[in-house]
Amino acid sequence: MDIHQIRSQFPQLGEKVYGRQLVYLDNAATSLRPVQVVEKWDEMSLRHNSNLHRAVHKTAVDATEEYESTRAAVAAFIGAAEPAEIIFTSGTTQSCNLLASCLENGGFFREGDEILICGSEHHSNIVPWQMVAGRKGLKIKVLPVDDRGEIRISELPALLSGRTRLCAVAQVSNVLGIINPIPEIARICHANGTLLFVDGAQGIPHLATDVRQLGCDFYAFSGHKMYAAPGTGILYGRRELLEAFPPYMGGGEMIESVSWEKTTYAPIPRRFEAGTQNISGVPTLRPAMEMCKLLESREISAGSDKIRTFLLDFFASRPDITLYGNPADPARKLPIFSITVEGAHHEDLALILDKMGIATRSGQMCAEPLMDRFGVTGMLRASFAPYNTMEEAVYFTECLQKAIDMLK
């Protein structure tokens, strides 16, 4: 399939804003949805709607089959050992909170223990850990990034102590777009007896991911950033770790038996999925994963590589523009471009670009500590998906130039 056939499957790419063709460059916030995903969503809502796991009637059995076969497909997609290692959540944020809560309530942390968090993390991989740290008397340490945005991996061994129980790091930062060296981080952490949690929200839409090759203990991502329905997410964890966890929430479906005297809990993963789940949304992960695989084809990824090279050259040629996330090896950069422009505020740029039909993101990008690290109040981010074209990249640079001229 060529890029035009792919684009025809994303109807929103044909939309106009302010009378201009939409150029959607806010994919890191949420991706657009292909028709296959919307069709599956409709099919679940219009034909197979029924609560899961409970009833014996055919419609309930069908809905449950859709849900559980999606769990198996997700396990295969990320290389988990078995479907039971896949917990459905509402998104990466809930996955982080579920993990933090289960580690806390499972007695994993003792006062004085440490959590090491990478300096370029999204707030959802910072705040839940700060909340646990506050309640349990833990110390938060920061794994810094250098001026290029690369993790200072040489400092990792010295930052780990005998008290460092967990390291939390993104596969790819939502601001910098750099593919972090997760296997190396995993090796160093495990040699120290430290567990590794990887936030895959930005990695999974672009990178074929195998959690066992990455070497992480836990991995989280959101469906809506990889073409699936919003309100879907995953937490992966190794079986032996999940089995030691207490439940996350109490309610229906997460129990084995309930009496006034004693309640016992269902085995993993249902122990973590209390109440009615996202019946229509979860099955959309299947066509979404198919789309991810399709978009990894050589032809499409070659197009994305050309866009990356074009934009890296463009930003490098502009002394008035600072690009954040500039790895020594450009092959480790995903097409997420966060910039500041001398003399032009990021929000003004985003507003002008919007009037030209271009959707970008401006502000702190839910990564305030990283903004502080680079001494800026915010950035302008253009994040590309594999369905974006070189024509759109060129149009973006032309419009950015016009916006800068208007503001200077």
What beta strand segments (E) does 245-325 contain?
Answer: 255-258, 263-265, 321-324
199 binds ligand PLP (CB under 6 A): yes
By beta-carbon proximity to ligand PLP, the closer residue of 29 and 153 is: 29
Residue 48 or residue 225: which is nearer to ligand PLP going by CB? 225
Binding mask 23-62 for ligand PLP (x = CB under 6 A): -----xx---------------------------------
Q: What is the DSSP letter of 83?
A: G
Q: Where does this chain touch ligand PLP (CB under 6 A) — which range of 65-73, 118-126, 262-270, 299-307? A: 118-126
In the structure encoding, which two tokens stand for residue 280, read together? 């229509």
Span of 133-141, 194-202, 239-247, 262-270 interacting with ligand PLP by CB under 6 A: 194-202
Q: Judge residue 199's burial from the number of C-beta atoms within 10 Å of its C-beta, 0-12 exposed, 13-18 middle, 19 or more buried.
A: buried
Q: Which stretch binds ligand PLP (CB under 6 A): 39-47, 97-105, 195-203, 335-343?
A: 195-203
Tell whether the torsion through CA atoms of 144, 147, 148 and 154 is positive or negative: negative
158 phi/psi in degrees, rounded to 5: -75, -25
Q: Does 209 bind ligand PLP (CB under 6 A)?
A: no
Distance from C-alpha of 220 to C-alpha of 233, rounded to nearest angstrom:
7
Least separation in angstroms between CB 326 and ligand PLP: 18
**Contact between 247 and ligand PLP per CB under 6 A:** no
In the bound state with ligand PLP, the residue whose beta carbon lies nearer, of 291 and 404, is 291
CA gap 290, 345 in Å, rounded: 39
CB 201 to ligand PLP: min, Å = 4
Interface map 72-111 toward ligand PLP (x if CB under 6 A)? -------------------xxx------------------
What are the residues whose beta carbons fall under 8 Å from the beta carbon of 330, sequence distance 6 or more? Answer: 308, 309, 312
Residue nearer to ligand PLP on the CB measure, 91 or 325: 91
Annotated active-site residue 366? The verdict is yes
**Residue 174 or 194 with smaller CB distance to ligand PLP:** 174
Rounded to a whole number of angstroms, the CA Rg of the chain reads: 22
List residues bridging with 233 in a β-sheet. 89, 222
Element (H, E) at 128: helix 127-136
The secondary structure element, H or E, covering residue 117 is: strand 114-118
**40, 48, 122, 270: which one binds ligand PLP (CB under 6 A):** 122
Contact indicator for 121, 170 with CB cutoff of 8 Å? yes
Nearest distance, CB of residue 51 and ligand PLP, angstroms = 24
Closest listed residue to residue 369, CA positions, set 29, 130, 90 = 130
* Total interface residues for ligand PLP by CB under 6 A: 14
**202 in contact with ligand PLP (CB under 6 A):** yes
Active-site position among 118, 292, 366, 399: 366
Q: Is 232 in the site for ligand PLP (CB under 6 A)?
A: no
Instruction: Give helix 298-316 / helix 390-407 axis angle, nearest 10°.
Output: 20
Catalytically active residues are 366
Residues that bind ligand PLP (CB under 6 A): 28-29, 91-93, 122, 124-125, 170, 174, 199, 201-202, 222
